Structure 1
Amino acid sequence: METETARSALFARLAEIGRRSAGAATPPELLYDRHGVLVVRVGDVVVKAHQADREHGPAFLGRIRLAGALTGLVVAPLGPPLTVDGRTVTVSPFGEPVDPGRALPWEEGARLLAALHSAGVPAGAPPWGRPARVARLVARLGGGPAEDAVRRAFATLPAWIRGEEDEPPAPAERLIHGDWHLGQMVRVRDGRWRLIDIEDMGRGDPAWDLARPAALYSAGVLPSDEWERFLGAYTAAGGPAVPAQGDPWTSLDIPARSLAIQIAATCVISAGREDRALDGPEQAMIDACTRISAAGDAA
């Protein structure tokens, strides 16, 4: 675990990189410090120390090149990654994040994803970086009723998601973000929205970009009107992840179940680390896991 001294030293290094990149002596601002990620803003740039346990070799360089080619859709790093105290660091233009106190930009996010999914897949685009995360999180679970509920649901997923077989080819590979939620959007200087955080961006099945809101909706955490706004805007924009007509869950079922289990595992791990009970939305995700396993038993 990173010590406070090491974290403070890393913050200072990122702030200095930001001052050099921004060409200004603006005081640094901490934007994010969770899950092994540290993000610092200095003026018009943000400096990000990526998770130490993520792959940042040739595939990550390919994602940076890919992001740079997606003008109008993605905020790309301003240059190749740096190495700072053994950590991979990128510098990117600053954008205003989504304000949870205002109307959420579901339609804007849907249209961004539809445009990304409809873009041509360039030669050499790396494969997306998921869904291995759900298996890693489930492997970290301890014992207890909530943990058991998550594990039973996990057992209903296809073997390739559980890490027991190779991932099959996507029905039609597209460019995807790979870890989309509203926190992966910022508003840039021209007032338009862009995607950020490219660690999982690449070619894959676009249904996985809709998986998180679909999982939250199916668990009762995301209100139905917000889900309908998002899905309606996505299909209206020609998004290819779901059928233009017919049941969207023919495409979304497995991704949504996987993300429900992943979110539930994250909730249990976080609550255990903080020595607290699950809150209402977290318990709703555990309840969703119970329904998933019951449906699997009945199948």
Structure 2
Amino acid sequence: MTATPLLTDLTLRARAQAHQATANCPCGAATLADRPDATVVRHAGTVAKAHAPDTTPADLTPRLTAAAHLPDVLLPPLTPAPVTLHDRLVTFWPYGTPVDPDDPDAAPWEAAGTLLARLHRSPVPTTGLPPMRGPAKAAHAVTRLRTTGPHPAAAPVLRAWDTLPAWARAEAPMPDTTTLCHGDLHLGQLVRHPTSDGPWRLIDVDDLGVGVPAWDLARPAAWYACGLLPPDEWTRFLTAYRDAHGPAVPAAGDPWPALDVPARALTVQTAARALTKALAQDRPLDEVEQALVDACARMGSVPPQLAPSSAK
């Protein structure tokens, strides 16, 4: 694959940031992601990220500031403000070791729950932090499904979307604008801080903002509800969040009334992305993707809560 000008120049910027006083080095660059919404490269201990084309300094800069002021929760950036490269905003970060996808037993569910609780309990910065982008991303996934083309499994996904309240579809303001939220929590958003003890930290501030904290628990909740996340892993995550006094759910008892709407929304978002991907690749749905569609179909018959299949 031929490198784009953005990828080429981003790699050079990452090398310059990693070795500011060295003209040449033996390190090899690695492309961590190269998508329309994000291009990410690593050089030695530095990561350079070109953000989505529609990202504005007014939205990104306060998110960087928030990360810099919460180093016990978020991996702090190497520079306080973005630079512009090929009309894209670029930020620089220390490289942290990600979660190993081939070792699910070592997944840091306790760390994820504890970090989320710390984030949700943190004071909201006074630097004009924008709303958390979770509902907007879900709406974007559904719009892409509608515009990509017909899929035989799209009907239950779109019906489930229509049952959600307007705020969860990004058609109205969120009911909570006083809590600091990550906006796109999953295990891929955790890395070990590049220090000797390597504590886990959250990464990716693109969706950081104020909003409904239950949204940050919704992806693992949705996977649990679909039978895709084992009950013990869900329990580890939820217990750690509660033990750290996270405000998104009650301290005891049934958490589902608080999680139901965000979990439904994340189920629809993930199913919509799966259908769009299957259409683009001209292939049938795999087992996991079909489970997400089946969960969307159940939403219309199990109001007002998405009954976890593993709890049936």
TM-score normalized by structure 1? 0.92
Distance 1:140 1:189 in 2: 37
Amino acid at match of 1:62: P
Number of the residue aligned with 1:85: 86
Distance 1:218 1:298 in 2: 10
Distance 2:65 2:267 in 1: 31
1:19 correspondence with 2:25: no
Distance 1:131 1:87, change over 3 A: same
The secondary structure found in structure 2 opposite 1:143 is coil
Aligned counterparts, 1:31-180, within 5 A: 31-34=32-35, 36-53=37-54, 55-79=55-79, 80-102=81-103, 103-124=106-127, 125-141=129-145, 142-164=149-171, 166-170=172-176, 173-180=178-185
Q: In the TM superposition, what is the alpha-carbon distance from 1:173 to its structure 2 partner?
A: 2.2
Q: In the TM superposition, what is the alpha-carbon distance from 1:127 to its structure 2 partner?
A: 2.2
Q: Deviations 1:187-228 (Å, cap 9, x if unpaired)?
A: 012310111100111222211100100011101111111111
Distance 2:67 2:56 in 1: 15
Distance 2:183 2:305 in 1: 31
Distance 1:174 1:57 in 2: 22
Distance 2:5 2:126 in 1: 40
The secondary structure found in structure 2 opposite 1:295 is coil
Distance 1:15 1:291, change over 3 A: same
Distance 1:22 1:244, change over 3 A: same
Distance 1:168 1:21, change over 3 A: closer
Number of the residue aligned with 2:309: none
Distance 2:57 2:72 in 1: 26
Q: In the TM superposition, what is the alpha-carbon distance from 1:101 to its structure 2 partner?
A: 2.0
Amino acid at match of 1:167: P
Number of the residue aligned with 2:310: none
Distance 2:282 2:36 in 1: 17
Q: In the TM superposition, what is the alpha-carbon distance from 1:163 to its structure 2 partner?
A: 4.2
Amino acid at match of 2:132: W
Number of the residue aligned with 1:250: 257
Distance 1:140 1:188 in 2: 35
Q: Contact (CA 8 Å) 1:156, 1:296: kept in 2 or not?
A: no
Runs of 4+ with >4 A deviation: 296-299
Number of the residue aligned with 2:194: 189
Amino acid at match of 2:282: D
Distance 2:239 2:305 in 1: 31
Q: Contact (CA 8 Å) 1:173, 1:206: kept in 2 or not?
A: no
Bigger drift between 43-52 and 252-261 goes to: 43-52
Distance 1:163 1:174, change over 3 A: closer
Q: In the TM superposition, what is the alpha-carbon distance from 1:161 to its structure 2 partner?
A: 2.7
Distance 1:217 1:31, change over 3 A: same
Q: In the TM superposition, what is the alpha-carbon distance from 1:296 to its structure 2 partner?
A: 4.5
Distance 1:77 1:56 in 2: 17
Amino acid at match of 2:180: L
The secondary structure found in structure 1 opposite 2:160 is helix
Q: In the TM superposition, what is the alpha-carbon distance from 1:138 to its structure 2 partner?
A: 1.4
Bigger drift between 250-259 and 121-130 goes to: 121-130
Q: Contact (CA 8 Å) 1:128, 1:202: kept in 2 or not?
A: yes
Q: In the TM superposition, what is the alpha-carbon distance from 1:155 to its structure 2 partner?
A: 1.0
TM-score normalized by structure 2? 0.88
Distance 2:289 2:230 in 1: 15
What RMSD over aligned residues (CA atoms) do the two structures have, in Å? 1.9
Q: In the TM superposition, what is the alpha-carbon distance from 1:37 to its structure 2 partner?
A: 1.7
